[in-house]
Amino acid sequence: MRGFQNIVRIDIVEGKESGDFLWNGFVLLVCSPKVLSIWEKYRAFETYRISVLGLGDIRYTGVVFTGRGGPFDPVRSKAVFSEESDESGRRVVLKQDGLYFDESYWDRSDLFTIDDFPRLPILTARVVEEMKKTGVTNCRYTPLEDYGNLQKLIASTQREKPDEHSNS
């Protein structure tokens, strides 16, 4: 999305209150000004304009992380792949126990993605702590070691006190 100049339009199809993130069928990362003010000092992202129909004057911005973490490590992630390849010729990860990557390729950005999961935003612990302190809503913080493990994810969700906007 580098250099993207157009406005992306998002229609509200459910929910009456907006949080600090707007989750959508396009798998776009859409954030409130509150989130952007936290992330501003980390500078590992680009933005584009979003038009949200049905929310009045609330301003949201589309975000693309530019920080890179390198390739997915299927061995450490205990990935189980499909037998068949998808239309791009790659086998799909059916399940995994954690999300690990080759850290020798990580550019040490606090906001980044990994090659095989480009739409999955990954934040360092210090960013997560700042977001929690600031009261960012409508998101879940999943440790990478719990990613893809349904039992661990359910257990961590039950330990956390969800806020009134948490639904992702």
pLDDT recorded at residue 106: 94
Instruction: Give the containing element (helix H, strand E) for 157.
Output: helix 150-159
Residue that the structure tokens 């070691």 belong to = 145
Q: Which residues contact 143 (CB under 8 A, 6 or more apart)?
A: 156
The pLDDT, as a whole number, for residue 5 is 60
- pLDDT per residue rounded down to tens, the chain (168 residues): 555 566 776 666 565 677 899 887 777 899 999 999 999 999 899 998 888 776 665 688 999 999 999 899 989 998 888 888 888 888 878 888 889 999 999 999 999 999 888 888 999 999 999 999 999 998 889 888 888 765 555 555 445 544 444 433
Are 45 and 62 in contact by the 8 Å Cβ rule? The answer is no
pLDDT in tens, 108-155: 999 999 988 888 899 999 999 999 999 999 888 988 888 876 555 555
State residue 26's pLDDT score.
74
Q: How many residues does the chain have?
A: 168
